[in-house]
Amino acid sequence: MIEMPRLLSAAALTVLLLACSPSSDDSTVDPRSLDWPEIVKAARGETVYFVMWTGDPAINRYMREFVVPHLHKRHGITLEIVPGQADIPSMLMTEIEAGQTVSSMDMVWINGQVFYQLRQIDALYGPFTSKLPNDLFVDWDNPMIAIDFQQRVNGYESPWGNVQLLLITDTERVAHLPRTPRALAEWIHAHPGRFTIDSEFTGLSFLKSLMYAFADSPQELQGSFDRNVYNKLKNRVFEWVRGVRADLWREGRTFPKDVSQLHQLFANGEVDFTMSFNDGEVDNKVAVGLFPKTARAYALKTGTLQNTHYLGIVARSAHKPAAMVVANFLISPEAQLEKLKPEVWGDGTVLAMERLPAPWRSRFRNVPGRSRAPERDALQLFARPEPAPQYMIRLDEDFRNEIVRQ
C-alpha cells in the first residue's frame, strides 16, 4: 500500500519514543549527608505526596485536621494525601520498570506485607530513621516494632503506630464472649448467619491468628516461611472454616469484600461480630454513632496478631528532605499523643515511655482510656507477631481458590 513508508516511519518513531529513557531529572541530594537543620530548611515549601489507606474517615480526619495544618504552619510543607494501599508495590514497580528516575510518590504508609514486596524491588529509601531527631523516642527494643513480618526493619521504614487484631461484638446480643476457636464455632452453630469474615486483609489476618491457635507451638510461625508448616496449619484452619461455613452469614456462599463492608453489616445488625486491626476502633466508631453503645472489643485467648504499621520513603522520591520532616513529625510525641486519643484514632504509640521526658510520660498515661476494649497491657498477653509475608500471600490465594470459589 502507498501508506507503507508512512507506516514504517510511524512505527520507528513509536519504538524510538518508547525506548529512550526519560531524562534524568535528579535534583535530589541525599539528605543523609546533611544535618537536620539543613534538612528542615531544604524541606520548606515542598510538597510531599503521601500514599495511604483512606478507608477510615477517622484517620482521614486526623490527617486532614491535625497533621496537614501543623506541617504547613510549622515547616511550610504541603502534604497531599493519595489513596492507595495494596497497590503501592504495583505502582512503584511500574515506575521502576519504566526506568522512571523520579517517582510520583514520596511517602507510603506501609501496612502488612507490603514492606517485604517493597524491599524486594528495592523501592525504599534508607536506612534513614536514625537521622530523625524523634527516632530517639521510638521503642526499637520492642521486637514487634523492630521486626516487620519477620523481617528486620533496619531503618528502612519508620514505625508509626501499633495495633492488635480484635473481635468486636455487641454485648447486648452476645452474652458470653467466645474466646477460643472452638467456643466461636459453637456460637456460630448456635446462631446461624450471624458471623462472617471479610476476604481481605483483616479477615485473612483473623485466619492467621487461627493458625497460631492450631499450631503445635507458637514458634512454628516464627522465622522464615516454612512450606510444610504453612500447609499443615492452612489445612487445619480451612477445616475449621469448612466446619462452620454452612452457618456463616449467607451460608458462607459469599464473604464481605473488605472490612468496611463487614463494619456496615455489624452496624446494620446483620451480623453480631466484626473485627478490626485498630484496637481503638470500637471506641471510635461508637463515638460517631456507627456502632451500638454496647459494642465491645476483645482478643481470642489463643492469641491474635499484633503488628506495627510504618512509614516509608520512596527511593526515587524528589522530596526526600521534606518526607523526612513529615516522618519526624508523625513520630513526634505530640502527633503520637493526638493519634492515641480514642476519639481521634485510638492507634497505639510506637514511642517508649521511659525514653520520653517526664511531662510527656504523664500526658500519655492520662489519655482517657478505652472503655470498650481491654487496655494495651492486658492485651499484650494475647499478642502474636506477624508471621513471614509469604504466609499472607499464599493464604490469600488459597482462600480464594479453596474456599471462596467453591
Partner 1 sequence: MVSGVAVASAAGANAAVIRAGSTSLLCVLIAVPLVLLLLLSVTRHWSYPGLWPDALQWSQWRVMLSGDRGLLDALVSSLLIAVIVAVGATTAGFLTSQRIAGHRRRGVLLMLALLPFAISPVVLGVTLNYGFIRLQLAASLWGVILAQFLFAYAYAVLLLSGFWNTRIAALSELAESIGADRFQIWWRVRLPLAAGLLGVSLFQTFLISWFDFALARLIGAGRVQTLPLLVFDYFGSGDFRLAAACGVLLVGLPLAAVLLNRRLLAWPLTAASSRV
Partner 2 sequence: MLTAGAVILALAFAGLYSVGVLGLLSESWTTAHWRYVLFESGVWSALGFSLALTLVTLGLATVAALATVLIVDMRVRRGPFAVLVYAPLAVPGIVAALLSYQILGDAGLLSRMAHAVGWIRSPAEFPALVFDRLGVGIILTHFAMITPFFVILFDRLFENERVAELRQLAYTLGATRMQALSRVVLPLLLVRALPVCAVYGVVLMGAFEVPLLIGARYPTMISVEIYSRFASYDLTARPQAYAMATLYLLLVLAAWSVALRWRPRPAQTPR
Residue ranges that bind partner 2, judged by CB under 8 A: 3, 6-7, 10-11, 14-15, 18, 86-91, 93, 97, 112-114, 117, 120-121, 193-194, 199, 249-250, 253-257, 261, 264-265, 268-271, 393, 396-397, 400, 404-405
Q: Is 318 in the site for partner 1 (CB under 8 A)?
A: no
Neighbouring C-beta atoms of residue 178, cutoff 10 Å:
21
Out of 24, 33, 219, 268, which residue is the one contacting partner 1 (CB under 8 A)?
268
Q: What phi and psi values does residue 310 have, to the nearest 5 degrees?
A: -130, 170
* 358 near partner 1 (CB under 8 A): no
- Determine the Cα–Cα distance for residues 105 and 81; give it in Å rounded to an integer: 10
The span of 54-62, 119-127, 216-224, 355-363 binding partner 1 (CB under 8 A) equals: 54-62
Of 113, 61, 106, nearest to 85 (Cα)? Answer: 113
Q: Which is nearer to partner 2, 54 or 264 (CB)?
A: 264
Cβ within 8 Å of residue 275, ≥6 positions away? 165, 166, 167, 168, 197, 202, 203, 206, 259, 262
- Asked if 256 and 196 count as a contact pair (C-beta separation under 8 A), the reply is yes
Candidate list 28, 32, 34, 60; residue touching partner 1; CB under 8 A: 60
Span from 141-149, 232-240, 260-268, 342-350 in contact with partner 1 (CB under 8 A): 260-268
Q: What are residue 49's DSSP bridge partners?
A: 80
* Helical (H) or strand (E) element with 213: helix 201-214
Q: Is 140 an interacting residue with respect to partner 1 (CB under 8 A)?
A: no
**Closer of 92 and 213 to partner 1 (Cβ):** 92
Whole-Å CA distances, 273 to 146, 265, 270:
32, 9, 9
Task: Give the range of 16-24, 35-43, 112-120, 237-245 binding partner 1 by CB under 8 A.
Answer: 16-24
Q: What residue has cell string 503488628?
A: 307
With CB under 5 to 8 Å by kind, the binding choice for 64 among partner 2, partner 1, none is partner 1
User: 384 touches which of partner 1, partner 2, none (CB within 5 to 8 A by kind)?
Assistant: none
* Residue 154, C-beta contacts closer than 8 angstroms, at least 6 positions apart: 126, 127
Using CB under 8 A, which of 8, 22, 182, 218 touches partner 1? 22
Give whole-number Cα distances, 246 to 167, 173, 192, 240, 276, in Å. Answer: 21, 21, 8, 11, 24
Q: Residue 76 region, left (φ>0) first, then alpha (ψ -120 to 50), else beta? A: left
Site for partner 1 in 273-302 (CB under 8 A): 289
**What, of partner 2, partner 1, none, does residue 100 touch, CB below 5 to 8 Å by kind?**
partner 1
DSSP letters for 295-345: EEEE--TT-EEEEEEEEEEBTT-S-HHHHHHHHHHHTSHHHHHHHHSTTTT
Looking at the Cβ atoms of 15 and 378, the one nearer to partner 2 is 15
Please say which residue, 54 or 390, places its beta carbon nearer to partner 1. 54
Question: With CB under 8 A as the contact rule, which of the stretches 92-100, 121-129, 161-169, 343-351 interacts with partner 1?
Answer: 92-100
Buried b (16+ CB within 10 A) or exposed e, 42-58: bbeebebbbbbbeebeb
34, 82, 121, 183: which one binds partner 1 (CB under 8 A):
82
Out of 2, 16, 21, 27, name the contact with partner 1 by CB under 8 A: 21
The residue assigned the cell 535530589 is: 28
Q: CB under 8 Å, gap of 24 or more: what pairs does 264-272 form? A: 265/196, 266/168, 266/170, 266/291, 267/291, 271/193, 271/194, 271/195, 271/196, 272/169, 272/170, 272/173, 272/174, 272/191, 272/194, 272/195
Contact partner at residue 105 from partner 1, partner 2, none, CB < 5 to 8 Å by partner kind: partner 1
The CB-of-161 to partner 2 minimum distance in angstroms stands at 20
Is 98 one of the binding residues for partner 1 (CB under 8 A)?
A: yes
DSSP at 108: E
Number of residues that bind partner 1 (CB under 8 A): 32
Q: Which residue number, 270 or 334, has a Cβ lying nearer to partner 2?
A: 270
- The one of partner 1, partner 2, none whose footprint includes residue 44, by CB under 5 to 8 A per kind, is none
Task: Determine how β-strand 383-385 pairs with β-strand 295-298.
Answer: unpaired
Among residues 194, 234, 263, 296, the one that binds partner 1 under rule CB under 8 A: 263
Write out the residues near partner 1 by the rule CB under 8 A.
Answer: 1, 17-18, 20-22, 49, 51, 54-57, 60, 64, 82-84, 91, 94-95, 97-100, 104-105, 260, 263-264, 268-269, 289
